[in-house]
Structure 1
Amino acid sequence: MGMINAPTTDLTLLDNPPLIDPFGRAISYVRVSVTDRCDFRCTYCMSEEMRFLPKRDLLTLEELDRLCTAFVTRGTRKLRITGGEPLVRRDILHLFERLSRHLVSGRLDELTLTTNGSQLANFAGPLAATGVQRINVSLDTLDPEKFRAITRRGDLAQVLAGIRAARQAGLSVKINCVALKGFNDSEFEELIAWAHGDGMEITFIEVMPLGEDRADQADQYLSLEDVRRQLSATLTLEPISHRTGGPARYMRVKETGGRIGFITPLSHNFCESCNRVRVTCTGTLFMCLGQNDAADLRTPLRLSEDDRALMLALDEAIARKPKGHDFLADRLVSKPRVGRPMSQTGG
């Protein structure tokens, strides 16, 4: 696929008001998946044998540009590109190049992505050239054998080389680490020291009950309240007011001077200030990660080149955004989980 043609209705519907949900929360942060494919098969995210979607079901890069532009028109200030692994999508740089116009115009504050780091050695420089300034890299262990086991096929050395390339390209890197009982719970201090030693932030995330075949989630679940107490035994954690627009709550480590974040969807949810929605690579909008209600945006996108039907679909969907999710630690086993895997929803 070549370069993306400019949409015919690009930012022409300037009279559209900001998207505000029934609880008065403005939708200013949208996470957009560009593919369900990934070169890893992380055990808490995907099945080992995945059936990926046919190409015809995925939004084209042109449609993704139109969709993101519609959200920007309606008040979105932060776009995060996700997957699967977004950097395995063919010609993905063309999408970043097109979306960068919203950074130049000032309509968008941040264009960023979450990646597993496997392709960063090749993409870091070009991403920085499009205006990306900050990225998240998912990394749960610094042990090569454990890394291969959790990803089922990943090469830790390749990811670390990608992270170095990102740093050399001037990108700010935040490490995302899923806290897994019995797997990496003895590595947290090492991970913090490594990340902070190279000027990177690190955020710990509780495993989330997504996917029907994630039967081991209850055994993997580790409350970040316990992690915080564990770290406090040897480190001085100081609460700070730093925010990035996402769900993480941050603390500063006095001994390193670096920041660590905690994303706690089970032990302490963050729904009251939720300003986010997620769009899958097929154009399905999930107003809440922990609910099954969704809206089809692909049909209005393909209905015509005019964005009126798309704008109406956005209004109707955000009007149904719930107050919060239903992720609770004590229901991890007894209550049916959201059936779709994280790779389908987008990271």
Structure 2
Amino acid sequence: MDRRLPVSPATPLIDRFGRQITYLRLSVTDRCDLRCVYCMKARPEFLPKADLLTLEELTLVCDAFISRGVTKIRLTGGEPLVRKDVITVIETLGTRIGPAGLDELCLTTNATQLPKYADRIAAAGIRRVNISLDTLEPDVYRRLTRGGDVNVALTGIAAAKRAGLKVKINAVAMAGVNETHLPGLIAWAHGEGHDVSLIEVMPVGEIGADRSAQFLSLENVRAALARQWSLTDLPDNTGGPARYARIAETGGRLGFISPLTGNFCDTCNRVRVTCTGELYTCLGKSGRIDLRQPLREGGRDALDDALDAAMASKPLGHDFDVSPGAAASVDRDMARTGG
């Protein structure tokens, strides 16, 4: 599992707009044990297992990015912890944390598998997990996830806390669905010592729903929260797109990820690689570079050439549109891209 691609002198990954890529979001599977309404169709067609990068190939891709200056890797899915033996990838990448390697290895999860894995991922070197949780209301959670049990997620969050993992709750803000639940979710999370980030609905993938009806501006959410609490902007930067504020009454930190009302593309430091080895330089664009073929047929030099080609093609930004009747910006769903 620890076979590394040969290390050669490498230049940082800098796109044509001068932005250096230091953050890789790697999807290890498109499969999930939930069916969230903003993420996938009710009856998704999952990829054949033969199409996926092997566990070893996932690690080799990470090593290539690390050698080119990536210092943060976030493992995503689907639900990453449903992939068989993915813990071996996590444990191997944990050995890359340190000087001349990674500053941080993170995980995004729905928490359902954390009772089983929290201790092992903490021992492997993961210090922070992002957990998708849009509401504490059992009926609403069941409807949003198409059958999930919020108590299973809460049990997983408790397991993460016991294991010493820093938890951040990610909640997608949806008009008419969970907007009135957000203050309660924030207060609960801050009471548990967890950060919270709110996320605007993004038009990624055809999910069989009208995203214009789902969309809720975080500018409006913040204004509503400011009538209830005292919010002070913070300079904090965790390597992603969130902009943070402190809530005086709860003492906790609240992030806003607003790709539509507060575009953050000018400082983008991220790329995504799917579980099939497709490199997307922008979540909101369809352009991609295949890494699987050069990895399998050409080795390190071919992989570096593919990364260079990706930097030359990275767009300035996305053009998300959630107006009534607008099609999804890209037809691949979020579970396939990597959340």
One of 145, 154, 158 as aligned partner of 1:160: 154
One of 210, 224, 227 as aligned partner of 2:218: 224
TM-score (norm 2): 0.98
1:346 matched to 2:327: no
Give the letter for the 1:326 counterpart.
D
One of 66, 73, 78 as aligned partner of 2:67: 73
Could you tell me whether the CA contact under 8 Å between 2:64 and 2:304 is conserved in 1?
yes
Partner deviation per Cα, 1:163-221 (whole Å, 9 max, x = no partner): 00100100000000000001111111101110000100000000000112343211010
**Residue 252 of structure 1: CA displacement?**
0.3
| 1:307 partner SS | helix
One of 183, 190, 193 as aligned partner of 1:199: 193
Partner residue in 2 for 1:185: 179
1:276 matched to 2:270: yes
1:2-13 to 2 correspondences below 5 Å: 4-7=1-4, 9-10=5-6, 12-13=7-8
| 2:97 partner SS | helix
**Residue 107 of structure 1: CA displacement?**
1.2
Give the unaligned 5+ runs of structure 1: none
Partner residue in 2 for 1:115: 109
Give the letter for the 2:332 counterpart.
R
Whole-Å Cα distance in 2 between the matches of residues 335 and 40 of structure 1? 24
Give the letter for the 1:340 counterpart.
R
TM-score (norm 1): 0.95
Identity of aligned residues (%): 53
Question: Where has structure 1 moved over 2 Å in runs of 4 or more?
Answer: 212-215, 331-337
Partner residue in 2 for 1:324: 317
1:1-347 to 2 correspondences below 5 Å: 4-7=1-4, 9-10=5-6, 12-13=7-8, 15-304=9-298, 306-329=299-322, 331=323, 333-334=325-326, 337-347=329-339
Whole-Å Cα distance in 2 between the matches of residues 174 and 218 of structure 1? 27
Change (3 A) 1:219 1:246: same
Could you tell me whether the CA contact under 8 Å between 1:144 and 1:156 is conserved in 2?
yes
Give the letter for the 2:320 counterpart.
F
Could you tell me whether the CA contact under 8 Å between 1:287 and 1:317 is conserved in 2?
yes
Could you tell me whether the CA contact under 8 Å between 1:35 and 1:84 is conserved in 2?
yes
Change (3 A) 1:182 1:25: same
Whole-Å Cα distance in 1 between the matches of residues 301 and 12 of structure 2? 15
Could you tell me whether the CA contact under 8 Å between 1:210 and 1:339 is conserved in 2?
yes
Partner deviation per Cα, 1:225-270 (whole Å, 9 max, x = no partner): 0000110111001001011000000000011111000000111110
Could you tell me whether the CA contact under 8 Å between 1:212 and 1:337 is conserved in 2?
no
Could you tell me whether the CA contact under 8 Å between 1:133 and 1:172 is conserved in 2?
yes
Could you tell me whether the CA contact under 8 Å between 2:200 and 2:218 is conserved in 1?
yes
Give the letter for the 1:342 counterpart.
M
